[in-house]
A and B are shown apart, each in its own frame.
Chain A
Amino acid sequence: MRFFLRIILVAGLGYVAGALFPQWSIPLSMVGAFLVGILFSQARKRRVFGKTPPPAFAFFAGFIALALLWGFLAWQMDRHNEQILGQQIITLLSETLQRTAPEAPQGSQILIAITALIGGLIGGFSTMTGNLLGEAVKSDS
């Protein structure tokens, strides 16, 4: 339950950050995810297998949150654009990295996947860092 709550909050904050301050989307999303990580690190009652849940839960919550947010937005923008730009960007990246163009036109899935991955990493690491801070502070007090 708290897991899903974390996801919703991180995603929500990420969306608000991006919509209001697009140029600061990444730093603000990181801060937002970080705060959610701290907030949900009060491991009072949660006992999984009798131990405090590992920070991996925080990582996954954050990862899924921003991966879904970014991935969904990218997917929707791509669909509304009928993949016009997506195709060209794939070719561009393919040429920059490998010096060759992709063999056949591909759907934009790979681009959406990369977008989701990047978002996910941002969300995951930030949330986990917040979680670990909360755990570290709490264990001192």
Chain B
Amino acid sequence: MRWVKFLLSLILTLALAGVLLVPLSPTPFALGSFFDPFTGFWQNAADISAPDSQAENLQLPGLQGPVQVVFDERRVPHIFAQHDHDLYLAQGYITARDRLWQMEFQTRASAGRLSEILGRGPEDAILDFDRGKRRKGTLWLAERKWQEVKKDPLTKAAIEAYVEGVNAYIDQLKPKDYPIEFKLIGYEPEPWTPLHSTLLFAYLSDMLGGRAHDLTHTNALKLLGRTKFNTLFPDLPVPERQEPIIPKSTVWPRAQAVPTPPTPPNYHPDSLFMAYGEHTTGGNLHASNNWVVGKTKSATGYPILANDPHLGLNMPAIWYEAQLCGPDHNVYGVSLPGGPGIIIGFTDSVAWGDTNGSRDVLDYYKITYRDSQKKEYRYDGQWLPTQIREEQIKIKGEAPMIDTVWYTHHGPIMYDENFGEQPVPLAVRWMAHEPSNELGTLLRFNRANNYEEYRAALDMFVCPAQNFVFASVAGDIALWQPGHIVNRWPEQGRFVLDGSRKDHSWQGFIPVNDWPHVLNPAEDYITSTNQRPTSLRYPYYYQGYFNFYRSQRIAQLLQSKDTFTVQDMMDYQFDDYGKLAEDILPTLLTNVDTPSLSREERTYLDLMGKWAYQYDPALTAPSLFEIWWQDLKEAVFEDELEQGDVPVSLIYDVTVAQLLKDSATLSYYKQVNTGASFTRKQLISQSFQSAVDSLKQVKSPEWGPQKGTTVRHLARLSPFSRGPLPTHGNRDILNATSRSSGPSWRMVIQLGPQVKAWGIYPGGQSGHPGDPAYDPFIDDWVKGEYYPLHLMHAASDTSGLTEAITLNIQPQ
């Protein structure tokens, strides 16, 4: 009997152990291990009870000499090393200590390896994501990139040292100390390799230049016909109102160094509808601002440079602040966790900033196979062989999937009968596939002392096109848009191209010296806000996803007075004035049929009339305008665009606004399906009334809650996200904070005998949610505050810091 009792108890105990030690739905982690105070989430609760000791000591293998890291009041590491190798090794170690999970997760996403840890996802969402990435070739290009990067000793050494540092951190990491996301998702960090660092740059290329409107434009063209298409999707909207990056007064040589290729005969964009298209928003998705004023326009007589790159708002933040002080250079700025160097920042003598060039660098080519074997495809009258790359995609809890991707000389065939439901196989030719070393340019910026050195660094920058604004303490201000520009024939790349025709291929690149650029313009200021880089005088054809309204606003502000201060720059970065609203609202207001409005509707109309176009989170007017504008656009264009039930491009707001202002009668006012005809006034009034109706039904109609800006955790774990936040601004406004993207970094640099700098990003230096340094900057960022940035000159030089903790690292 006693044995029976024992056995029962034993079985129960073992069952308990099973339940606690094996992951069970709905949680992906084992309950017991998760709650175990020795190994589980409690270990990730950072101990902040004891005051930090002023100095820490550490030994790391691989160092050639000692390194000091001084952490300031915001946990920004200031790294001092006597060898570049040690500098980047330490950068790798420290960044991993703060942000390992983020580094890991981002590179996994870029490589199409999320299914490995998350499973195939609801309706295969995650598996499709991974397949899309592999088929676009991000992993393939990252592998080729490393081969190219290795040829540059500076970049090779930097990446290898950084990798060493990250691995030194991972090697000593015990499972109980894994970042909490590893525990929650249920996997372990893997060793870091140079491929991880190049994958990071592939991730950026994808984010900044990985989309194209070719597919949706092809559909739009077929739906609307040429005339209507040209009206709604002009290649150059409102040419007379454009404010290009390179001042209009710039004279380009009339003779091109390379002639524009002729438009191919019998060129008709494909007659088939495309099934799936990646939308670019009316404008572009990832926007940014930068500008610089020169000596004569700066209150101090030295250039002031400002930059705020706009990216998806995520936790942990995409940027990580750091200072790198090596034997022959000293630079402060933001780095990307996963790669060495400083990406945007300043030194004692120069400052630089970055915005997206927004040029089209990705084209789709229709492929014609010889037969169902798919071994050959047509090109220039011949049959060329395809190549196969088998992408193995591991899936959590299942056997791996082998996705076979066929490659042509254009690039990988991203869409075929196995993926994407396109009517024809589509290969993708992407500038990012060219072997290149963008990091090389940035590492040289870190070391540049003057304009010549900045200029010399640009040639190796291939993709994606970026606008690098530059200023030096000597007084030079400049902007170059590096990145290979395809020498296109007019409209090449707006639609799907024919992969069998040689004249449809990329015919070459524009020479480097003809890249859009300007040095010390007469106006003594330069700005770039993703607008068209050049005026019509530029002899080459290019196309892209250019912004309009922000460039109008910053031009207006920088022309409004004679000299500017740092505070002006900060005010402009935070400017929440809506130029679109200014452009179109007067027309809308005069066209509302006031007599037919109810009394309540009239009060809303009044509200709109009094609004000064400020996108202030406390106001209701911006919410109403946005809903009204959306309703109006749909009322006018939706019937046309939705006809074929295929994805079509979004019309730029500036185009819609111009059409509405110009013409009281447009064919679009007639509804295609019903044949009913409306006047402009009717459409404007009706959409106003429907907007008021929608607005009345929401609990919090103010702009802040309506927009609902959220800084979302990378793995969508909502307690680790932050928001909704009451932010100013919107897309197409200088303070371009929308629901999920916005200024990921705001920086203002005042050059001079002693450089002064200010900056902020929405997040915190620590990537650990259990650490108070996870999110301390967010509230200040919402309010438009800035922190002083300290460019120290020695590890002992802590006078400018309000707190300093020194970490001494010795070679092992």
- Of B36, B45, B717, the residue contacting A85 (CB under 8 A) is B45
Is chain B's binding surface mostly helix, strand, loop or mixed? Answer: helix
Cross-chain contact B12 with A88 (CB below 8 angstroms): no
Any chain B CB within 8 A of the CB of A79? yes
**Distance (Å) between the CB of A90 and the closest chain B CB?**
8
- List residues of B (1-16) whose CB comes within 8 Å of A's CBs: 2-3, 5-6, 9-10, 12-13, 16
Q: Which of B5, B27, B32, B769 is A26 in contact with, Cβ under 8 Å?
A: B32
Contact check: which of A22, A97, A125 meets B9 at CB < 8 Å?
A125
Q: Interface of chain A, helix or strand or loop or mixed?
A: helix
Distance of A46 Cα from B260 Cα, bound (Å): 102
Contacts of A101 in B (CB 8 A): 718
Asked if B771 and A84 sit within 8 Å, CB to CB, the answer is: yes
**Is the CB of B434 closer than 8 A to any CB of chain A?**
no
- B567: interface (CB < 8 Å): no
Q: A22-B38, A25-B38, A74-B37 are in contact. Are A89 and B719 (CB under 8 A)?
A: yes
A79 contacts across to B, CB distance below 8 A: 49
Taking a contact as CB atoms closer than 8 A, the residue among B6, B16, B47, B719 that contacts A77 in the complex is B47
Inside 8 A of A126's CB, which chain B residues have their CB? 13
Within 8 A of A (CB), among B753-769: 769
Contact with B along A17-28 (1 / 0, CB 8 A): 011001101110
Proximity string of chain A (44-58) to chain B, C-beta cutoff 8 Å, 1 when within and 0 when not:
000000000001000
* Interface residues as binary, A100-136 with B (CB distance below 8 Å gives 1, 0 otherwise): 0100000000000011001101100110110011011
Measured between beta carbons, the chain A residues less than 8 angstroms from B21 are: 26-27
B26 touches A96 (CB 8 A): yes
Q: By the criterion CB–CB under 8 Å, are A25 and B2 in contact?
A: no
Q: Are A81 and B47 in contact (CB under 8 A)?
A: yes
- Report the minimum CB–CB distance from B579 to chain A (whole Å): 38
Residue B38 contacts which of A19, A55, A82, A128 (CB distance < 8 angstroms)? A19
Q: Is the CB of B13 within 8 A of A85?
A: no
A81 x B46 contact (CB < 8 A): yes
| A91 → B minimal CB distance (Å) | 4
Partner of A136, one of B6, B16, B17: B6
Residue of B nearest to A87 (CB): B719
CB-defined contacts of A121 to chain B, threshold 8 Å: 16
Q: Please report the C-alpha to C-alpha distance between residue A81 and residue B49 in the assembled complex, in whole angstroms.
A: 7
Q: Name A118's contact: one of B32, B174, B184, B771 (CB within 8 Å).
A: B32
Q: Which residues of chain B from 717 to 734 have any CB-CB distance to chain A below 8 Å in the complex?
A: 717-720
Q: Of B48, B718, B769, which contacts A80 at CB under 8 A?
A: B48
Q: Tell me if A82 and B48 are in contact (CB < 8 A).
A: yes
B395 to chain A, nearest CB (A): 21
Distance to closest chain B CB from A96 (angstroms): 6
Taking a contact as CB atoms under 8 Å apart, the answer to whether A128 and B9 are in contact is yes
Interface positions of B (Cβ within 8 A of A): 2-3, 5-6, 9-10, 12-13, 16-17, 20-21, 26-27, 31-33, 35-39, 41-49, 174-176, 180, 184, 717-720, 769-772, 774
Chain A residues near B (Cβ < 8 Å): 18-19, 22-23, 25-27, 30, 55, 70, 73-74, 77-82, 84-89, 91-93, 95-97, 101, 114-115, 118-119, 121-122, 125-126, 128-129, 132-133, 135-136, 139
Jot down 5 A-B pairs with beta carbons below 8 A, ordered by A.
A85-B44, A85-B769, A115-B42, A118-B20, A121-B16
